[in-house]
Amino acid sequence: MNSSTASAPAPLPPCYTVPVLHKLLAPSLCLATLLLAACGGSTPTASPSPINNTPDCSSGSVDSRATCYESQMTQAQKLQLVTGDSSAGTMGGAGFIPGIPSLGIPDLNFVDGSVGVGNGLGPATALPSSIASAATWDTNEAYKYGTVIGKEMRAYGADVNLGGNVNLTAGREPRDGRTFETKGEDPLLAGAITVAHLQGIEDQHVIAGIKHFALNDQESGRTTANVIIDERAMRESDLLAFEIGVKQSGVQSVMCAYNLVNGVYSCENSHLLTDILKTSWGFPGFVMSDWWATHSTAAAANAGLDQEQPNNTYFSQLGAAISSGTVPQTRLDDMVHRILHAMIANGVIDNPPSKGTLDVAGDEAIAQEEEEQGAVLLQNNNTQLPLNAAALHNIAVIGSHADVGVLSGGGSAQVQPIGGAALSFKPLCPPCWGGQIWDPSSPLKAIQAAAPGATVSFNDGSDPTAAATLAAGADVAIVFVSNWESEGMDLPDLDFDDDPAAGISGQDALVSAVAAANPHTVVVVESGGAQIMPWLNQVNAVLEAWYPGQEGGPAIANLLFGVVNPSGKLPITFPASVSQLPRPQIPQPPDSSTPFNVNYTEGYNVGYKWFDSQNLTPLFPFGFGLSYTTFSFSNATLTNNLSGSNPNIQISFNLQNTGSVAGAEVAQVYLQMPAALNEAPRRLIGWLKVSLNPGQTQSETIEVDENTAAHPLSYWDPTSQQWQLGSGTYNVYLGDSSRNTTLVGTFQAP
């Protein structure tokens, strides 16, 4: 897909991300050196020389260097590298493994970082939620997102990132408390956004990670949930997102999950860790456990677990297991080799992190850009938006602490925002942790700045009657509603529930009361994922802002007043009710220790594919998003090149901005496979985000390549254990969402 952001590598970033030039463009070191010099940078420093007389491991291939270091290590040093030692680290991150100074091997400091640097290391840029990044449908933006995390981790001296959540929870279980950390419900989109995040992190000489391998889609009983799913279904859904992420990013670390898959714990599941990840996909890096997700010594090590975290509850017995023969010495050597491979491949040995200062202004600018590009305009009746500041005299801003800040997600992904939390509440949901934080970015102040000639008043929304009274006297009422998510909990439903800890209640009633008082009501939603909106037909406009991050206030104001034209598209389906979900009730554990089955009867029909297969009408479909301008597709054609040496299809079309303001559209390509294959009704196979000026027409081509990790045209054949192009007629569609497409053409496969 050469023209599609679904698989094309991220374009060259500007010179402030110099390390990526060496990675993406320089098969020769000379070219890398010239490029780095042109950007005012320098070539990577050589690895520290050993302080004894052992061989120099500073040159050669990654594998040969890893073998060189490994050959000099004692058995005790090898065992040290595969077991967490959280009590010894001084940084305060999530985990620690001491280095081996005599060999020039630095410490490993593990830090959570899905939406910014976590674990309370210090103030860091709170980015919008990962799902907001996915809503940009733009790998260029996603790459910038990753660079912020990688740069700020290095500034704190950390070198292993624990982000990279690519679980398809938004489609499997949208009430999952970690949905905000994920990248949506489609494996191609989630995989592509994750690849860009990981590359942005890796290019800062930080070991990036992808998690939770695999099928960790609910927090309820997450340590004992046993996911039941067949091989084809998981290969074409959740594992496909991981396959894209692993193969296309060069990621060196995979975190195995808490849950069981088909009766076996993920961190001792040889089919997942060895058969698929390491053998089929050729993953060269190391597998670490999720924190306390290890359940055995020999079984876990032999299955493919390379590192226990955050301590050595089970791997403390690994030396004895090797002595007794229950774990081969070669397995330990492989574990060590993989960890060293990761450290060398990502530059941790050659260029270990040293504490520095944050680029606060630069990183906050990226945070604001991510929100502006990822927010989704869901409704805009009567062209309520954009607001015209010159025509407004009174503006009512109501609800969700919009006077001081914007909501963020909780748990291990929580970031301590620069400037400190605007508000912090102790959550009422054990075992979630970390506090409930509003990032210090006031929408109220930003709206006041955007409309300096208007009187902008605030009501906290605790009394719907008082809020309605304020709204009645305003030219426009802007209601902020929010729903908090966190690791360690699942949402009871998809309503805007009461939030007693934060002093928020009755938000649906609040919106209805305000809308009844003012026909010009706009709702701004701060959520981690899909929401039910019983008041939708009562309001003019709805903007899904997700968790907007450090600069959410100014970004939201820019979107409301048209300084920025919304271009985000939903990376998830918004159901009309929870009754439409594959499991209307979240399966619950019988107790804290007994495994219980969670049957994924929907198979590979995740998210929009489920809605299509069941002929359900969602509240908002996957890929949907409005703009302040309009677009039209024309002259769409399909070219079949499947018989060539590089099998692909090409979808060519003209895209025109038919409105009066500049904007961006996401052209989306969907495939309907032959009925005999019993596949999902349609699947996303490519997309392209195009920016156009008013009246401008542009000719574009999206190339969908079959020989990629995405396998866009194939199905997984469980008999041959490989991807295959089935015979029959394939229909190709082009449009602006999963539910608004036009047939482009058909092709035949033998």
State if pTM tops 0.85: yes
CA atoms within 13 A on the CB side of 512: 8
- Of 706, 697, 695, 707, residue with least CA distance to 662: 695
CATH number for the domain formed by residue range(s) 372-560 = 3.40.50.1700
313 pLDDT above the threshold of 90? yes
- CB contact at 8 A, 530 and 170: yes
Supply the residues annotated as catalytic. Answer: 290
- The model's confidence at residue 23, banded by pLDDT at 50, 70 and 90, is very low
Average pLDDT, the chain: 92
Please report the pLDDT score of residue 54 as a whole number: 64
pLDDT at residue 20 greater than cutoff 50: no
**What is the rounded average pLDDT of the residues 25-48?**
31
Q: Which of 194, 364, 191, 348 is nearest to 285 (CA)?
A: 348
Please report which confidence band the pLDDT of residue 53 belongs to, taking 50, 70 and 90 as the band edges: low
Write out pLDDT tens, residues 629-649. Answer: 999 999 999 999 999 889 999
Rounded mean pLDDT of 616-626? 98
- Asked whether the predicted pLDDT for residue 663 surpasses 70, the reply is yes
Query: Mean of the pLDDT values across residues 419-446?
Result: 92
Is pLDDT of 364 > 60? Answer: yes
Euclidean distance between CA atoms 460 and 399, whole angstroms = 5
pLDDT above 50 for 337: yes
Q: Is the peptide bond before 681 cis (omega within 30 degrees of 0)?
A: no
Domain extent listing, the chain = 1-45, 75-345, 372-560, 578-613, 631-749
Classified as helix, coil or strand, 130 is helix
Q: How does pLDDT run across 443-483, given as a tens digit for each residue?
A: 999 999 999 999 999 999 999 999 999 999 999 999 999 99
Average pLDDT in the 569-576 region?
98
Domain 631-749 belongs to what architecture?
A: Sandwich (2.60)
Instruction: Give the per-residue pLDDT at 24.
Output: 27
φ, ψ of residue 704 to 5 degrees: the values are -105, 105
**Residue 28: pLDDT band by 50, 70, 90 thresholds?**
very low
Would you place residue 155 in the very low, low, confident or very high pLDDT band (cuts 50, 70, 90)?
Answer: very high
Please say whether the beta carbons of 174 and 571 come within 8 A.
no
The pLDDT of residue 7:
35
Instruction: State mean pLDDT over 390-409.
Output: 98
Q: How far is CA 652 from the centre of its chain?
A: 29
Tens digits of per-residue pLDDT, 161-210?
Answer: 999 999 999 999 999 999 999 999 999 999 999 999 999 999 999 999 99
Rounded CA-CA distance 578/583 in Å is: 8
Tokens describing residue 746: 């058909």
CATH number of 75-345: 3.20.20.300
- Distance (Å, rounded) from C-alpha 251 to C-alpha 253? 6
CA separation, residue 317 to residues 300, 470, 541 (Å): 12, 67, 60
